Structure 1
Amino acid sequence: MMEELILSIVIVNYNSEKHLRDCLLSIEKFPPSKGDYEIIVSDNGSCDNSLELLVREFPYVKVISNDENLGFSKAANKAIRISKGKYILLLNTDTELTQGTFDLMIDLLENDPRIGVAGPMLLNRDGSVQPSVRPLPTRTHLMLGRRSLLTNLAYFRRKSARLRLIAEDIVEADLVSGGAMFIRRDAINEIGLLDERFFLYMEDVDLCRRMKEAGWKVVYNPHAKIIHHWEGTSSKQRRRAFLKHHISIYKYFQKYEPGFFRNLPLAIALVVHYLCWWVYSLFESSSPPKRIENGSWRK
């Protein structure tokens, strides 16, 4: 008799052959021990050797080969629609599993049927903690984002750190990172799939917000850990991704606080910030993101 398909691991890939291979090898090394699982890679028209890699080294992986870059949400939704697991894991290509993570997260979901979304602790390669749990964004919070130029100033850096204090135990949160997000199928069936207006970024924020508005819990579990490599993209790719991020921020606020004139100052601020960041990035040497200070969780 076949074991229950407990987990569907959904990975969206775009020209990330090396990261994809390391990610899949880590799943092989530390697989779930309770129930069977499947892996679905939705490839966004990669022009590297990603598809050849999957055929050659990971023939058991289900592959969706998109003809073009559909963006994260649309590509992930295509995989979610054909997935069969009780739970879904949205997993970035630039992640690596650690021992026991799958079982800790599945146990968490099994023990509380009202959890709709759950996220593990994300770590940098050197073991320092990434800010993977935070409150829902406000217009003020935009000034304190990870890549905001204002966080180069001590005052705003301290303010930003307070938004990213690290929980030391399992806790309910406003949102968890989409870099490694466990989702209950019953919950996403109820509220709907990822919003495809978000090409890249903010789809995780939107999903967590809709989960909470529908009465589902969003939970952070720091006992389960996944390594997340933020570095590894070229300067050109970072600038393109950052532009998409700014566009998605505008679309997020336009969705929940609609109005052209209401959001016109936000649009202007986002354009100015992106242009300033673009100039700044030309002179900034490539480096991993800044660490954050450990601290106690605050509501």
Structure 2
Amino acid sequence: MVTLPSADVVRVVCVAYHPGAELASFAATLQSATRRPLELVLVDNGTDHAVTEDVAARYGATLLVTGRNLGYGAAANRGASGAHGRWLVVANTDVEWEPGSLDVLLDAAEADGRTGAAGPALLNPDGTVYPSARELPSLGTGVGHALLAKVWPRNPWTRAYQARQERAGEERDTGWLSGACLAVRREAYEAVGGFDEGYFMFFEDVDLGERLGRAGWRNRYVPAARVQHVGGTSWRDRPAPMIRAHHRSAARYLGRRYPGPARLPLRLALRAGLRVRELLELRAAR
């Protein structure tokens, strides 16, 4: 790994919370994902650091131990701090890189100087493409998706929110990109202040994409770059905290998107609806 300050060095930030064997796979596959000089920074939000210490030693990574669970966005900001390269890459521990995938992603992003963020195709374990490039949720779309996605996955509001999976192979601009694997131009990242640390988990990537767009940057989906994403490995056995975090973050995002005294009844109604949905999901997860 290259650690010297250079505009050519790509800093890859991986936020870990009690990871398993998937972290070593992440680091191993990263080696063939690009020919560019890399610096890998592991940010450990957990209490047992054996895995992150081992992977850092084996792959020459920098290990940052936060001392407590800061949440995803705050930990990613710590990992990005002090970077000198043009590009930051933030990714989950359970990502596996296809050979050359990071080069494909960054080459496409560099084709336009206004591209602030770029995201690859995220492949589910069964080979299907996860809808990682989505439009910003409008009020109607967001409510329709929230209420019906579980019982009617192909409803028109969910399809609109997920930007229609039939476009999964099309390189395009989009409203926001999944933070599971995201390349961000450092200039753009710093200009908007990085991730909003008020989001513990979830919606920090939606919020970042919206702020980048408002600042004049493009969010570019690059499906020619492909990574495997298992998803949820750190919390699959304990879903309740993440269900709560997801709904808190949704309430924060919607509250900030619809501000002002005149919209207070709307915000209260949205919070009530999210609370009912949260309770239903918690009951189903028991």
TM-score (norm 2): 0.89
- Specify the alignment match of 1:269 in structure 2: 273
Residues 199 and 248, structure 1, Cα contact 8 Å, conserved in 2: yes
For residue 277 of structure 1, report the CA deviation from its aligned partner: 1.0
Q: How does 1:234-273 map to 2 (within 5 A)?
A: 237-259=238-260, 260-273=264-277
Is residue 22 from structure 1 mapped to residue 25 from structure 2 by the alignment?
Answer: yes
Is residue 158 from structure 1 mapped to residue 159 from structure 2 by the alignment?
Answer: no
Greater Cα offset, 254-263 or 171-180: 254-263
Is residue 98 from structure 1 mapped to residue 98 from structure 2 by the alignment?
Answer: yes
For residue 257 of structure 1, report the CA deviation from its aligned partner: 1.3
Following the alignment from structure 2 to structure 1, what is the Cα–Cα distance between the partners of residues 41 and 258? 35
Residues 4 and 36, structure 1, Cα contact 8 Å, conserved in 2: no
SS of the equivalent of 1:211 reads: helix
For residue 137 of structure 1, report the CA deviation from its aligned partner: 1.5
Q: Provide closer, same or farther for how the CA distance between residues 231 and 194 of structure 1 changes in structure 2, counting only shifts above 3 A.
A: closer
Q: How does 1:143-182 map to 2 (within 5 A)?
A: 143-145=143-145, 148=146, 150-154=148-152, 157-159=154-156, 160-164=158-162, 165-166=164-165, 167=167, 168-182=169-183
SS of the equivalent of 2:283 reads: helix
Q: Provide closer, same or farther for how the CA distance between residues 52 and 8 of structure 1 changes in structure 2, counting only shifts above 3 A.
A: closer
Amino acid at match of 2:174: A
Residues 5 and 38, structure 1, Cα contact 8 Å, conserved in 2: no
Following the alignment from structure 1 to structure 2, what is the Cα–Cα distance between the partners of residues 195 and 233? 22
- Specify the alignment match of 2:114 in structure 1: 114
For residue 238 of structure 1, report the CA deviation from its aligned partner: 1.7
SS of the equivalent of 2:228 reads: strand
Following the alignment from structure 2 to structure 1, what is the Cα–Cα distance between the partners of residues 53 and 234? 21
Residues 17 and 53, structure 1, Cα contact 8 Å, conserved in 2: no
Greater Cα offset, 157-166 or 96-105: 157-166
Deviations 1:8-45 (A, max 9, x none): 101111011322111111112x2311x31111111113
Q: Provide closer, same or farther for how the CA distance between residues 210 and 55 of structure 1 changes in structure 2, counting only shifts above 3 A.
A: closer
Structure 2: give runs of 5+ residues left out of the alignment.
none
- Specify the alignment match of 2:11 in structure 1: 8
- RMSD between superposed Cα atoms in Å: 2.0
Following the alignment from structure 1 to structure 2, what is the Cα–Cα distance between the partners of residues 262 and 149? 16
SS of the equivalent of 2:129 reads: coil
Structure 1: give runs of 5+ residues left out of the alignment.
283-299
* Equivalences, count: 275
Amino acid at match of 2:34: P
Q: Provide closer, same or farther for how the CA distance between residues 243 and 31 of structure 1 changes in structure 2, counting only shifts above 3 A.
A: same
For residue 94 of structure 1, report the CA deviation from its aligned partner: 1.1
SS of the equivalent of 1:42 reads: strand
TM-score (norm 1): 0.85
List structure 1 runs of 4+ shifted beyond 4 angstroms. Answer: 233-236
Quote the sequence identity (%).
28
Following the alignment from structure 1 to structure 2, what is the Cα–Cα distance between the partners of residues 262 and 151? 21
For residue 232 of structure 1, report the CA deviation from its aligned partner: 3.4
Q: How does 1:44-83 map to 2 (within 5 A)?
A: 44-47=45-48, 49-58=50-59, 60-83=60-83
- Specify the alignment match of 1:279 in structure 2: 283
Amino acid at match of 2:27: L
For residue 56 of structure 1, report the CA deviation from its aligned partner: 4.4
SS of the equivalent of 2:14 reads: strand
For residue 103 of structure 1, report the CA deviation from its aligned partner: 1.1
Following the alignment from structure 1 to structure 2, what is the Cα–Cα distance between the partners of residues 246 and 57? 38
Amino acid at match of 2:51: S
SS of the equivalent of 1:17 reads: coil
